[in-house]
Structure 1
Amino acid sequence: MTKPYLALGLAGPHLAELTTSPALLSRWDALPLAFSVLGIDRIDGSAPAPVTLASSAVGATLAGSTKHGRFLIAAAPQRDHPYNIARRVASLAHLSGGRSGLLIGVRDAYAPEGPREAPAWGGAGLGGGAPLNAHTACDAARAVRVLEQSWPHDSIIGNRETGILVESNRIVHVDIDNSFSIAGPLNAPEPRTGASVIAWYAEAPADAPPVGDNNPIDLILGAAGSVPVVALGDEPPPGAFVGVVLRAGHDQPVDDLLNAAERWLADGFASTPPGGSLRVALNLSAPAPLPSTARPAFPVPQPHVSL
């Protein structure tokens, strides 16, 4: 039987602790973990902690100050429009060399409530909005996936002879019209390692993502998924799982979590080779490319002989 991998769940106080301690950060970066969830308490139904940091800001810090550790940032459309989430996800993948991904949630425990009739995204106070439910969250995940693919990485050719730097006709509109209306494309190219991993949190079967065709969800965390979440101090769950997320409570320090992770890795959990893209580390297949019928955002570029 294949050994399960080990991941960590970090809540708000742990993000502040980890990013202010070079010693803890070095230990975290050296552990052969599959990944860590940054700000898991944002989307798992927990009450907010007195202290937290923005998940994507912590991701940017880790991407620039570490070499091996992989992570998921936690986000929900309650606070952010999926176009903005997609920009952060793509930017982090560029910064980290593909070591990052997204854990999408329905609600963000730290986000303000939006208008009663459209609390998702309306919580930013900028108008618009959508119902705050799993359908909206899944539509946001779909938007992130196709937006990240809308500017193919290999369209950047840098041809000095023709002066064509980008095959801009391959940058396409996403033309989304569901909970969100987005023409696209994203204003950043696809990461070199391809579209980022998108995970979902499901504690019960009723929490499963309502997906159909073009399912953007690569991984489901929680008791109803293939990667259950276990509280620090509890024993690993019985049964066969792909992996387990070991999650610390707000009052449990990062040092205790890392100590427990070291014990679990020495006692039956698989070591995941550090470094490299998150998708490769989890052995997840690449998502299908956008259809060839997608609407080009720009005309075919013409040579610039002056260059």
Structure 2
Amino acid sequence: MTKPYLALGLAGPHLVELTTNPALLSRWDALPVAFSVVGVDRVDGSPPAQTTLAGSAVGATLASATKQGRFIVAAAPQRDHPYNIARRVASLAHLSGGRSGLLIGVRDAYAPAGPKEAPAWGGAGLGGGASLTAQTAYDAARAVRALEQSWPYDTIIGNRETGILVESNRIVHVDIANSFSIAGPLNAPEPKTGASVIAWYAATEADAPPAGDDSPIDLVLGAAGAIPVIPLGAEPPAGVFAGVVLRAGLDQSVSDLLDAAERWLAAGFAPTPVNETLRTALDLPQPAPLPASARAAFPVPQPHVSL
């Protein structure tokens, strides 16, 4: 039987603690866990803590200040439009060399309240909005996946002889029309390591991702998912799981969490190689590319010898 992997769950105060303590950050970076969830309390139904940091800012710090640690940043369309989420996800993957990913939730505990008729995204006060449901979150995940793939990495060819730096005719519109209306493409190329891992948080069956053949969801965390989230201090769960997320409470420190992770790893959880991308570490297949019929955003580039 394959041993389950171990992941870590970090709430708001832990993000402050981890990013302001170089020794703790170095210890976290060396620990052979599968990944850490940055800001799990945003999407797991917990009340907001008194202190937290923006997940993308923490991700940028982890990407630049560490070499091995993997992480997924929690976000929900309640606060962020999926186009903005996609830009941050792609940027983090570039910065981290594929060590990062996204955890989509239905609600964000730290997000402002939006209009009753359209609380998702509308809470930013910039117009629009959508219903706050699992379908909206799922549509956001689909948008993030499509946008990240809309500018394929291998279009960047840098051909000095022809002066063609990018095969721009292969950059495509995503043409999404569901909870969100997005033409695209993203204004950043796909990461060299491919599209980012997208996880989903499902505390209950009502928050489970909708079924679909073209689902962008790579793994599901939470009580209604395949990867359970266990509070620090509890015993490892019975049953067979691909992995488990060990989550620290607000009254527990990052050091407490790392101590427990070391014990769990010594007690039978599988260490995950630290020199692999997140997708490789979790043994997840690459997602299918966008359809060949996707609408080109630019014409075929012409040679330009000025370079």
Residue matched to 2:180 = 180
Q: How far apart, in 1, do the equivalents of 2:76 and 2:104 lie?
A: 6
Residue matched to 1:99 = 99
Q: How far apart, in 2, do the equivalents of 1:262 and 1:61 lie?
A: 23
**203-212 or 108-117, larger mean C-alpha shift:** 203-212
Per-residue CA distance 1:225-273 (angstroms, 9 max, x = gap):
1210000000010000000000000110111000000000111000000
Residue matched to 1:80 = 80
Equivalence map 1:232-243=2 (5 Å): 232-243=232-243
Residue matched to 2:272 = 272
Q: How far apart, in 2, do the equivalents of 1:239 and 1:25 lie?
A: 32
Tell me by how many angstroms 1:181 deviates. Answer: 0.2
Using the size of structure 1 for normalisation, the TM-score is: 0.99
Equivalence map 1:60-79=2 (5 Å): 60-79=60-79
Tell me by how many angstroms 1:206 deviates. Answer: 2.8
The sequence identity of aligned pairs, in percent, is: 81
Tell me by how many angstroms 1:214 deviates. Answer: 1.4
Is contact 2:105–2:202 with CA below 8 Å preserved after alignment? Answer: no
Q: How far apart, in 1, do the equivalents of 2:109 and 2:203 lie?
A: 16
Using the size of structure 2 for normalisation, the TM-score is: 0.99
Residue matched to 2:113 = 113
Residue matched to 2:158 = 158
Structure 1 unaligned blocks of 5 or more = none
Q: How far apart, in 1, do the equivalents of 2:8 and 2:88 lie?
A: 21
* Partner amino acid, structure 2, of 1:77: P
Q: How far apart, in 2, do the equivalents of 1:42 and 1:113 lie?
A: 14
* Partner amino acid, structure 2, of 1:297: A
Q: How far apart, in 1, do the equivalents of 2:80 and 2:203 lie?
A: 23
Aligned pair 1:222/2:211, yes or no?
no
Q: How far apart, in 2, do the equivalents of 1:36 and 1:100 lie?
A: 9
Tell me by how many angstroms 1:155 deviates. Answer: 0.3
Tell me by how many angstroms 1:204 deviates. Answer: 2.7
Equivalence map 1:195-206=2 (5 Å): 195-206=195-206
* Partner amino acid, structure 2, of 1:91: S
Question: What SS does the corresponding residue of 1:86 show, helix, strand or coil?
Answer: helix
Tell me by how many angstroms 1:8 deviates. Answer: 0.1
Tell me by how many angstroms 1:125 deviates. Answer: 0.6
Tell me by how many angstroms 1:207 deviates. Answer: 2.2
Tell me by how many angstroms 1:195 deviates. Answer: 0.3
Question: What SS does the corresponding residue of 1:101 show, helix, strand or coil?
Answer: strand
Aligned pair 1:256/2:248, yes or no?
no
* Partner amino acid, structure 2, of 1:109: A
Is contact 1:142–1:215 with CA below 8 Å preserved after alignment? Answer: yes
Q: How far apart, in 1, do the equivalents of 2:203 and 2:139 lie?
A: 20
RMSD: 0.6
Tell me by how many angstroms 1:205 deviates. Answer: 2.6
**Matched length:** 307
* Partner amino acid, structure 2, of 1:298: F
Question: What SS does the corresponding residue of 2:249 show, helix, strand or coil?
Answer: coil
Tell me by how many angstroms 1:224 deviates. Answer: 1.9
**205-214 or 264-273, larger mean C-alpha shift:** 205-214
Residue matched to 1:127 = 127
* Partner amino acid, structure 2, of 1:102: L
Equivalence map 1:207-218=2 (5 Å): 207-218=207-218
Tell me by how many angstroms 1:212 deviates. Answer: 1.5
**289-298 or 272-281, larger mean C-alpha shift:** 272-281
Per-residue CA distance 1:101-136 (angstroms, 9 max, x = gap):
000011100000111111100011100000011000
Structure 2 unaligned blocks of 5 or more = none
Q: How far apart, in 1, do the equivalents of 2:152 and 2:185 lie?
A: 11
Per-residue CA distance 1:70-128 (angstroms, 9 max, x = gap):
00000000000000000000000000000000000111000001111111000111000
Aligned pair 1:294/2:288, yes or no?
no
Q: How far apart, in 2, do the equivalents of 1:53 and 1:237 lie?
A: 30
Is contact 2:6–2:270 with CA below 8 Å preserved after alignment? Answer: yes
Query: Following TM superposition, where does structure 1 have runs of at least 4 consecutive aligned residues deviating by more than 2 angstroms?
Result: 203-207
